[in-house]
Amino acid sequence: MTNEPSADSVVGCPVGASSDFGDETVTSHHFGEEGAKLTYGSYLRLEQLLTAQVLESDPPAHDELLFITIHQVYELWFKQLLHEVDAATEAMFGGRLWWAKHLLKRVATIEDVLIRQIAVLETMTPQDFLVFRELLSPASGFQSAQFRELEFASGAKDPTYLKRFRGLTDAEQKRLAERLEAPSLWDGFVHAVAQSGLPAGTEDELRDSLVEVARDRDGHGELWELSEALLDHDEAAALWRARHVTMVERQIGTKSGTGGSTGAPYLRSRLGLHYFPLLWELRSFL
């Protein structure tokens, strides 16, 4: 005997299918290849996802699972952010400014989550981190290819990073090199400014055009809103860097990093980075 309802008792259920629910709650079913039923776990590839947390410490340090989980969640969101940033850039080149703005709002919302989740990692004490910290060397967040791709795709293209990375895979190197050549969010925005009929051939022209956009929002409302959405992304990235370095100081003080940098001083040297410096400069001219 089985507890599952028979196929013909399930509303909307194809012949031969069975349900995890009673008659009233089931309305339809989906099938994968060869009639195999798609399940929650198979759709989300949970077997791969949930077996990818492999600790370096042995015996296992209690907090290392948290450390790995947080970083893996970051990389999943980085992948999503790149997907949205690429689409937003394409939308600006294609004249679909409302869509670019819509996607950039999503980007900033995800970045908000990335900033707030640092607090979860801060529930780890420095003593508990030290149980497994040495095992991580010479690995470091510095080697996150997707993080650097996001910087490049946003417009902060520092080619020296390509040479400074140790241990990137060939595929990661290739992706980064391609990103250096590909149009960035900023390139997309400059294109949109030019398409609206405003001068955008030189930095000076662009500066004047941005002031014009800001002063005439009735005439240039869509561009203004787009520039604000870009600034939200830029600001969120800056807030993440600041939040990360305060966490780093709390965890390792003035120690140098596992990646070989000076640690907090290196990270502080990056706090002035802006993806869209002209949008920040503009504030001084209004």
Ligand X SMILES: N[C@@H](CC(=O)c1ccccc1NC=O)C(=O)O
As annotated, the binding site for substrate includes: 67-71, 133, 258
Residue 144 interacting with ligand HEM (CB under 6 A)? yes
**Residues 6 or more apart whose Cβ sits within 8 Å of residue 45:** none
Amino acid (1-letter code) at residue 41: G
**Looking only at residues 179 through 198 of this chain, which bind ligand HEM when binding is defined by CB under 6 A?**
none
d(CA 128, CA 269): 28
**Of 157, 142, 162, 124, residue with least CA distance to 263:** 142
Residue 259 interacting with ligand X (CB under 6 A)? yes
| The two structure tokens encoding residue 277 | 């410096």
Q: Is 218 helix (H, G, I), strand (E, B) or coil?
A: helix
Helix (H) or strand (E) holding 205: helix 203-215
To the nearest whole angstrom, how small is the minimum distance from the Cβ of residue 261 to ligand HEM? 3
User: Which one of ligand HEM, ligand X, none is in contact with 136 (Cβ closer than 5 to 8 A by kind)?
Assistant: ligand X
One residue of 62, 71, 83, 217 binding ligand X per CB under 6 A: 71
**Angle at 232 (CA atoms; ends 218, 211), nearest 5 degrees:** 40
Residue 259 interacting with ligand HEM (CB under 6 A)? yes
Whose Cβ is closer to ligand HEM: residue 124's or residue 210's?
124
**Looking only at residues 63 through 92 of this chain, which bind ligand HEM when binding is defined by CB under 6 A?**
70-71, 74
* Residues 131-160, mask of contacts with ligand X (x by CB under 6 A): --x--x--xxx-------------------
8 A C-beta contact, residue 258 and residue 139: yes
The distance between the two most distant Cα atoms of the chain, rounded to a whole number of Å, is: 79
To the nearest whole angstrom, how small is the minimum distance from the Cβ of residue 120 to ligand HEM? 9
Residue 251 interacting with ligand HEM (CB under 6 A)? yes
Per rule CB under 6 A, count of chain residues that contact ligand X: 10
One residue of 257, 275, 276, 279 binding ligand X per CB under 6 A: 257
Q: Which conformational region is residue 12 in: left (phi greater than 0), alpha (psi within -120 to 50 degrees), or beta?
A: left
Residues near ligand HEM (CB under 6 A) are: 70-71, 74, 121, 129, 140-142, 144, 147, 244, 247-248, 251-252, 257-261, 263, 266-267, 270
